[in-house]
């Protein structure tokens, strides 16, 4: 009888069509997720004008989705370890598509906020699940690259929202960009059929045939034998209290530091996503020009995410993140000072690379840090706690905008969290990482995945 460790098997696998399929679907889901999130910031000036709301009230309206994202990330990230990741992802797509589209039918701040809260449950819930999915099935040597490449779809979604916003809002009103968000509902049957289920879930529920099929696609050279038993390393076996496991084996302090880093990073991301258009418009740029800054921000984010993932597969991911957060502090501060247009576009791109791009690399770091069986829970709680930063950001910056402070002070307020994030990431203990026993970027020998008994 052979005991096959599915985690080590996945670590040692070579990239193939199966991995490409998972990457494709996870990226598509994140593109739509990014669109649904960015669309509120894109339409914010038009919504404020039509509904007659103040900057402070608009901040609360934007934060309603982020408040939903906090609960969605915690609940749907955790529940996926119990009901299966495919079902959890399908539920998230239904939530964020249906209720973002519904927001396009609203005409008052309260109803708009309620629909955005419900959409936020899906937007927040899908992120930890697709990160866990991509992390679980990626070969170790390519894990950082594949996770960040997949998550760069978030920036593509933001750019798509900005591109559509420039034409649709002026021609058909702000409602049109929300109604377009309902289309991903059509993808749910394809997602359920195409995405593989989580391997720990298949083992726990005794779905041996389904697991054998997944393994044969994951490692085409693998040959099934009678009596094969699929197992997980001790750290990858889910216990009765997976949330408690985030604080076991010396991971407690590092878990809190992840939460601090997520809080600070998401504060910066949503401060820029929600208010960059309005701040630039207030600085004298036209709506079209202000939306161009959103395009540049998200293009920079995509470059930052892919570049950060590439670096993380070659250098310690912890130090890559420290460098990216430091760049965020500098670039965001510079946004408040006058400079030539070409230089301003470069700085906006760097700000996107070091905030949205850094968020994506931080997700990848959390995915590598926690054992497979509680990976969704670990990422979900980090993302969920971090959402409190995302919730506060539009409100805090909205209050500052309402106070008519100098532009420099607004951007300095967005940059301060980057300094705190540098400190938090510096204090994460890599010795407690699930990847520590093999080392970042080093694939275990394939033979280690199979033991004869």
Q: Looking at per-residue confidence, does 294 or 255 come out higher?
A: 255
pLDDT of residue 233: 59
β pairing state of 2-5 and 229-231: parallel
- CA–CA separation, 8 vs 158, rounded Å? 36
Q: Looking at per-residue confidence, does 354 or 291 come out higher?
A: 354
Query: Which residues are within 8 A (CB) of 199 and not within 5 positions of it... i.e. 6 or more apart?
Result: 6, 7, 10, 136, 211, 214, 230, 232, 372
Q: How many CA atoms lie within 13 A of 254 on its CB side?
A: 22
Residue in the structure block whose two tokens are 């749910």: 188
Query: Which residues are within 8 A (CB) of 275 and not within 5 positions of it... i.e. 6 or more apart?
Result: 41, 44, 394, 397, 398, 401, 410
pLDDT of residue 436: 52
pLDDT of residue 403: 80
Closest among 313, 220, 222 to 15, alpha carbons compared = 220
Would the pLDDT of 91 be above 80?
yes
pLDDT of residue 287: 57
Average pLDDT of the residues in 163-178: 81
Q: What is the mean pLDDT of the chain?
A: 81
pLDDT of residue 443: 35
- Residue 417 pLDDT grade (very low, low, confident, very high; cuts 50, 70, 90): very high
Find which of 91-95, 176-180, 222-226, 355-359 is predicted with most confidence, using mean pLDDT. 91-95
450 - beta bridge partners? 4
Residue pLDDT, tens place only, 203-234 = 888 888 888 888 888 888 777 666 667 676 55
Query: Which residues are within 8 A (CB) of 209 and not within 5 positions of it... i.e. 6 or more apart?
Result: none
Average pLDDT of the residues in 124-153: 83
229 - beta bridge partners? 3
- Residue 1 pLDDT grade (very low, low, confident, very high; cuts 50, 70, 90): low
Least confident of 93-107, 179-193, 243-257: 243-257
Average pLDDT of the residues in 359-381: 79
- Residue 276 pLDDT grade (very low, low, confident, very high; cuts 50, 70, 90): confident
Backbone φ and ψ of 314, nearest 5°: -120, -25
pLDDT of residue 421: 95
Backbone φ and ψ of 240, nearest 5°: -80, -15
- Residue 424 pLDDT grade (very low, low, confident, very high; cuts 50, 70, 90): very high
Q: At what angle do helices 153-172 and 143-151 cross, to 10 degrees?
A: 10
Counting residues of the chain whose pLDDT is more than 90, the rounded percentage is 18
Give residue 398's Cα distance to chain centre.
24
pLDDT of residue 226: 63
Would the pLDDT of 438 be above 60?
no
Give the tokens for residue 397.
């910056």
Q: H or E element: which one contains 230?
A: strand 229-231
| Separation in Å, CA 135 to CA 26, 149, 174, 230 | 11, 12, 37, 19
pLDDT of residue 228: 67
pLDDT of residue 320: 92
Average pLDDT of the residues in 301-315: 84
Structural domain harbouring 21: 2-452
Least confident of 55-59, 240-244, 384-388: 240-244
Give residue 198's Cα distance to chain centre.
19
Average pLDDT of the residues in 117-137: 87
Counting residues of the chain whose pLDDT is more than 70, the rounded percentage is 87
Average pLDDT of the residues in 46-57: 81
| DSSP one-letter code for 352 | H
Q: Looking at per-residue confidence, does 188 or 283 come out higher?
A: 188
Q: Residue 293 class from Cβ within 10 Å (0-12 exposed, 13-18 middle, 19+ buried)?
A: buried
- CA–CA separation, 46 vs 65, rounded Å? 18
pTM above 0.75, yes or no: no
* Total domains present in the chain: 1
Residue in the structure block whose two tokens are 């750019």: 159
Would the pLDDT of 405 be above 60?
yes
Give residue 218's Cα distance to chain centre.
24
Average pLDDT of the residues in 60-81: 80
Give the CA-trace dihedral at 345, 387, 73, 255, to 10 degrees: 100
**Secondary structure (DSSP) of 46-65:** HHHHHHT--HHHHHHHHHHH
Would the pLDDT of 447 be above 50?
no
| Separation in Å, CA 39 to CA 30, 45, 96, 374 | 14, 12, 12, 32
Give the tokens for residue 18.
């199966």
pLDDT of residue 408: 76
pLDDT of residue 163: 81
Closest among 4, 117, 111 to 62, alpha carbons compared = 117
Closest among 196, 156, 164, 180 to 352, alpha carbons compared = 156
Q: How many CA atoms lie within 13 A of 151 on its CB side?
A: 35
Residue pLDDT, tens place only, 281-293 = 666 666 566 677 7
> CA angle, 117 as apex, 115 and 121 as ends, to 5°?
115
Residue pLDDT, tens place only, 100-117 = 999 889 888 889 999 999
Domain harbouring 102, CATH code: 1.20.1250.20
Query: Which residues are within 8 A (CB) of 78 and not within 5 positions of it... i.e. 6 or more apart?
Result: 242, 243, 376, 377, 380, 381
Q: In angstroms, how far apart are the furthest CA atoms of the chain?
A: 72
């Amino acid at each position: 009888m052979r005991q096959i460790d599915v985690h080590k098997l996945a670590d040692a696998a070579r990239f193939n069509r199966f991995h490409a399929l998972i990457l494709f679907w996870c990226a598509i889901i994140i593109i739509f997720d990014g669109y649904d999130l960015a669309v509120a910031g894109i339409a914010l000036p038009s919504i404020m004008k039509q509904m007659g709301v103040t900057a402070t009230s608009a901040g609360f309206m934007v934060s309603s989705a982020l408040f939903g994202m906090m609960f969605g990330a915690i609940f749907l990230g955790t529940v996926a370890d119990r009901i299966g990741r495919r079902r959890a992802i399908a539920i998230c797509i239904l939530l964020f598509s249906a209720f973002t589209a519904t927001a396009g039918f609203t005409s008052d701040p309260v109803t708009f906020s309620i629909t955005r809260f419900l959409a936020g449950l899906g937007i927040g819930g899908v992120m930890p699940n697709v990160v866990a999915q991509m992390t679980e099935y990626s070969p170790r040597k390519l894990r950082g690259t594949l996770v960040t490449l997949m998550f760069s779809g978030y920036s593509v979604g933001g750019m798509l929202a900005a591109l559509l916003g420039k034409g649709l809002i002026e021609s058909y009103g702000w409602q049109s960009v929300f109604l377009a968000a309902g289309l991903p509902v059509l993808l749910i049957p394809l997602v359920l059929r195409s995405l593989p289920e989580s391997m720990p879930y298949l083992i726990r529920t005794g779905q041996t045939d389904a697991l054998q099929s997944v393994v044969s696609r994951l490692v085409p050279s693998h040959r099934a034998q009678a009596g094969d038993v699929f197992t997980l390393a001790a750290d990858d076996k889910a216990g009765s209290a997976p949330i408690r496991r985030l604080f076991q084996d010396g991971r407690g302090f590092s878990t809190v530091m992840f939460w601090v880093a997520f809080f600070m990073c998401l504060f910066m991301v949503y401060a820029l996503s929600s208010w960059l258009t309005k701040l630039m418009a207030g600085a004298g740029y036209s709506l079209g020009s202000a939306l161009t800054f959103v395009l540049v921000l998200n293009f920079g984010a995509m470059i930052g995410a892919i570049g950060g993932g590439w670096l993380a597969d070659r250098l310690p991911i912890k130090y890559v993140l420290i460098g990216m957060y430091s760049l965020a502090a500098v670039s965001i501060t510079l946004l408040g000072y006058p400079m030539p247009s070409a230089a301003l576009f470069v700085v906006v791109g760097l700000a996107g690379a070091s905030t949205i791009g850094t968020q994506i690399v931080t997700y990848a770091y959390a995915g590598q840090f926690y054992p497979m069986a509680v990976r969704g829970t670990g990422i979900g709680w980090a993302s969920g706690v971090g959402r409190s930063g995302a919730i506060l950001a539009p409100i805090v910056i909205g209050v500052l905008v309402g106070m008519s402070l100098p532009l420099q002070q607004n951007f300095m307020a967005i940059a301060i969290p980057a300094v705190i994030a540098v400190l938090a990431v510096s204090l994460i203990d890599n010795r407690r990482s699930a990847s520590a026993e093999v080392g970042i970027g080093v694939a275990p020998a394939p033979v280690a995945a199979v033991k004869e008994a």
